[in-house]
Chains A and B, each alone.
Chain A
C-alpha cells in the first residue's frame, strides 16, 4: 500500500463516520448511526470512480468526509500521500483548493441572494487569488468554460433553468483548479435530457482540466456512462468494487445483481429477470449481524447471519467483492 500512496490521488483507509444518536433527558449518546463503517478505496489521477447505493447507505456522508465537511470518527484520508482528515482549519486550506464538490440540488447549493458573479468570485476571494480585475476576468472565463453567456454575471440563480444552475455549480467547483471533484448526485435532480448534457460537460472538463471524479449516484445507468470503476455501497460498506464493465457483465455480489436488474432496457421483448429485494434497508443504527445484506439476500445460508464477509478479489485483482460464495449469475 505504501508504494501506491504516491500514485493514488486519494486514498481512504478503513474510514468510519459514526454519528451519535442522542436519547433521553441527559442527551447521552447511547447509540451510533454508522453511516460510513470502514470504507477503503482509492482514486487515481484522471480517474472517475462511481459510487452507487440506495439512499441512506452513507455515500453522501462519505463524500462530505472527503471534502472535510465532517470529521471522520476513525480511519485516514490521504490526498497525494498526505493525511488530511485531522488537520486544523488553517492547515486544510491548500487541500480545499484541490478537492471541490458539486451538489445535488443546484437551487439549494447556490445562495439565492448572490449574483452569479459573486458566487463564482467567492472561492477566488477566499483563497486570495489575483486582484479584482483578474478575478473578474477569471469569472468570465469560467462562465465560458461551462457554456453560459458572459452577461450571466449580474443575474441571480433563480433566473436560470435547472441545467444552467448546475453549470454555475460546476463553474464554482472548478474555479480553484481542483484535482478532485466529488459529484454528489450531481445530475439526479435534473431532467433526463439535461442529465446527459451535464454528464458530457463533466467528461469534457475531465479531459481538459485533468480532473478526477468521485461520482456519487443511486442510479447505476447514469454512473456507467461516466465511470472507469464503480463501487457499490450498502449500509456504510463497500460490497463490490470493479472496473465499470466488470460490474455490469461479471458482478459477483447479489446486491449488485439486484441493482443491475433495476436498469430499464429499451427492448420490451428483451429477456430480463427483475430481482426485487425483500424488505427495507435495515437501519444503520442497528445493522444486522454477520453480512449486513443477509436479511434481504436470496442466496443466504446459515453462516451469513453470523460471519461477516470481507472484501476479496477474484480474477483480475481490481475486482473485489464481499460475499462468502462464488455466485454465478
Chain B
C-alpha cells in the first residue's frame, strides 16, 4: 500500500518508532501474522494444494468434510480446501491491487486538490463528482467491452472507482492542514510545494487514510464477487472467495459447509486487516503512548 509513503519518510524515526509500538500491540501482530500467512499460502497454492481446482469427482457430489476432503466437496465433487486456496489468490490480489490503485490516485488527487485550492480544487473535485454520478457498472462494462475481459483490468477498474471517496477524505484533511502554521513554517524555510505535500501534508493524513484502507479492502473483495456473479469478473472453474460464498448461499440449506468455510476465510481476513489497520494508525500517531 505505502511504498510511496515509505520512501517519503525514509530515514525518519517515525517509522522506526511505529514498528516498536506495533510490535507491542498483540492484536495488531496477530492481524499481521494472519495476513502474512494468507499471502504465503496464496503464493504457494499451486504446489501445496491437495487437488487441482478444476478436478471433479461427480461420483462424490457434495460431500461433507472427511479425511480425504477436509472441508468437504462442492456439488461437482471439487475439493473445497483447494478451491478456497485458489479463491484466496484472486481475492487477496484484487483486494490489495485495487486498494493500492485507489490509494495512490485518491491520496495524490485529494492532496493536490486540497493543497493548491482555488480553481484547481474546483475542477478536480467536480471531476470526482461527475465520476461519482456515473453508474460505475456502466464504466466497468464499457472497460470490459473495449479492452476484453482481463483480470488485471478488473483490478484497475475497481480501483478506479474506489479512489473517489479516498480523494474526498484526503482533500478535507489537507484543507484543514494547509492553513496550519507548520505548513507556513515549511514555506518560509523554502521547501517546495511538492516537498511540503510529501513530507508534511501526507504523513499527517495517514490516520484516516489507513482506517479507510482497511475498510476498502473488504468492500473491494465483495465488489469482485458481485462482478463475477454478473459474469464480468472471474469465471468458473476458477474461483474467488466472493464467488464461492455466492454459490454457497444458494445451497446453504442442503450443504452448509459450502458457505461456512469460504465465509470463515473471508471474515478472518477482514478481522486481521482491521486489527492491523487499527494498530498501524495508533503506531503512526506519535501522540499515542509508546507503552
Contact = CB atoms under 8 A, between A and B. Distances in A.
A113 interface: yes
A155 to B, nearest CB: 9
Interface in A65-102: 67-69, 89, 92-93, 96-97, 99-101
Interface in A34-63: none
Contacts of B190: 92-93, 96-97, 123, 126-127
B13 A89 contact: no
Interface string A103-136: 1110011111111011000110011000000000
Contacts of A108: 180-182
Nearest to A92: B190
A64 B179 CA distance: 13
A89 B200 contact: no
Count class of interface residues, chain B: 20 to 34
Residue among B186, B188, B192 with max Cβ neighbours from chain A (10 Å): B188
Contacts, number: 75
Given A112-B204, A112-B286, A96 B181 contact: no
Interface residues of A, number: 35
A252 interface: no
A103 B203 contact: no
A122 B199 CA distance: 10
B13 A172 contact: no
Contacts of A110: 182, 185
- Interface residues of B, dominant DSSP: helix
A112 B204 CA distance: 8
B189 interface: yes
Contacts of B14: 113-115
A68 B188 contact: yes
B170 to A, nearest CB: 16
A122 B12 contact: no
A96 B189 contact: yes
A156 interface: yes
B185 A109 contact: yes
A158 interface: yes
A154 interface: yes
Nearest to A101: B188
A112 B284 CA distance: 11
A154 B188 contact: no
B286 A122 contact: no
A114 B187 contact: no
Interface in A155-169: 156, 158, 169
Contact of B188 (A96, A113, A158): A96
A69 B193 CA distance: 12
Interface string B197-228: 00110011010000000000000000000000
Interface string A210-245: 000000000000000000000000000000000000
Given A64-B184, A103-B184, A111-B200, A154 B13 contact: yes
A127 B12 CA distance: 19
Contacts of A113: 14, 203-204, 206, 284, 286
A59 to B, nearest CB: 15
A126 B191 contact: yes
A96 B190 CA distance: 6
Nearest to A153: B13
A327 B191 CA distance: 49
Nearest to B207: A113
Contacts of B181: 103-105, 108-109
A-B residue pairs, 5 tightest by C-beta? A109-B181, A156-B286, A96-B190, A108-B181, A103-B181
Given A101-B184, A109-B180, 13 more contacts: A69-B187, A99-B188, A101-B188, A108-B180, A111-B200, A112-B286, A115-B13, A118-B13, A122-B191, A122-B199, A123-B190, A154-B13, A158-B286
